[in-house]
Chain A
Amino acid sequence: MFVILAVILVGASLMVVAQRNPVYSALFLILAFLGLAGQFVLLQAQIIAVLQVLVYAGAIMVLFLFVVMLLNVRDRQAPEAKLRWQKLFGLILTIILFGLVAVTVAGEVRLGPQGEFTPQRLAELGNAQVFGKLLFTDFLFLFEATSVLLLVAMIGAMVLARRRPLGASSPPPAASSRAD
């Protein structure tokens, strides 16, 4: 099961990079996120898998697809790449990076002290219950800070996506009847 989900995840991620059309890239990205959610279920993090599907594969990807459709980018090839060696160097650097990370990670991993939430304990308490209890007790301040972050991001996105810049003079009354 791990291997199947890993193949889905890696294959879909590769297709995201390889596809020429951004819409197909976005659809393959959804597939990759679903594969990742399956991995989370295997790791006994059910609430995380649900969040992954809802927020990533749902909300974020809908936003992506919406913008892709909104921009309606023509399939227009750039006349020539301005940086000729970009692709070659990019591939080489990626392979070097992967080699370094893999060598670091593939060896014997010495784990630190183990926490209290063994799989058995987690199974009887319930993953979502433990997650919620921790989030609203130990990590309450971070949770509230996150809400401020989301608010700022929301306001920022709306300000950036406005048609008229913020300090611009207000339009004449005839034009302002049209909803912005």
Chain B
Amino acid sequence: MKLLIKSGRVIDPTQHLDKVLDVFIEDGVIKDIMANIEMDNVQKIDAQGKIVCPGLIDVHVHLREPGFEYKETIETGLKAAVAGGFTAVCCMANTNPVNDNQEVTRYILKKAQEVNLARIYPIGAVSKGLEGKELASIGELKEAGVVALSDDGNPIYDSGFLRRAMEYAKCFELPIISHAEDKKMSPDGVMNEGKISTKLGLPGIPKASEEIMVFRDIKLAELTGWHIHIAHVSTAGAVDLIREAKRRGIRVTAETCPHYFSLTEEAVEGFNTNAKVSPPLRTRNDVEAIKQGLKDGTIDLIATDHAPHHPLEKETTFEDAPSGIIGLETSLPISLRLVEEGVLSWSELIDKMSCAPARIFGLLAGSLEPGKVADITIIDPDITYQIDPSQFFSKGRNCPFAGWGVKGRAVIAIVGGKIVYQFEKIRTS
């Protein structure tokens, strides 16, 4: 099986590459990157005018299977992933049953293998049943194939418990991903506490509820010497805390999501349940701080926190609607706005959406170096269109970007040298 990608603008931050080159793939592996590779009897992709980069990786998705197949399945989730340009995803443990033991991990991996689209890297639970009381079977989870641990959705309140979990996880070299939010500060909270929550009469969630937990997590990373990854950073204060921790050499990494650098609490106006998310959308000031954090490297990567719900679940009052925004099919075009605005270069964006996720979680791919697995995303940077959730592969329609005019999309996704997604208007010969 040979594949030749011709004349694309190849961007690979791991090799400091950004120029027009050809990429030759054989047996699922990148063989060669150079100008003008001529070859017969190979499948060719004309990538002129396109970006060729290491396959995008989303380290924070909820695929809902097992347990909530009416919201999303591994199949629909992975279809959405490749259509969004993602060649690998890490799926969170809050399924039913919870991914706190090897049986669930193996089930997820088996399903993903049957679907055979994007790679899947399960994330195991830190605690049994996500209850924050007893450790999940961490050694067994590692052996079954999890790449990190997280009780995402359920913050771990007991600092003593999290400390022990981090020490134990360190033995197995599994980073812990923290949903940093002290929900006890505002048990009824449904949106950012501020002017809009006061106007709408909706219970607010102060920024401090995130920052208190980020600070605690940083202290535990310092105490245990182990790696904590802060999920979905939403506030300026959290960015500052992480920046300072990194400066002091503490093992902390961080992600944010497209909605935290493109939307504010104002999106909730009119009781828009598609703008309900945890942590909540914040203010203009936070959006700017998050962009700055991405630019200066405080925030290592962009993940989506893809959280599909059944459309009917969002068709209710704001307070009753579940939290979550889908992101797999909008992350790239929304994130490309950062390049358009000059916040990130193309190379920096690709680092945050591919190389950094691979580096931080020890995943295959994330690089086009010869010898690496051929997971590649080809992006048309010029195509303009309107975001239309009715066309999504995901079962979720909970997208606050519906109707946005955007520029750029993934047109081909290649996993292990095989084309797994091809945008309808793109042809290969």
Query: A and B bound?
Result: no
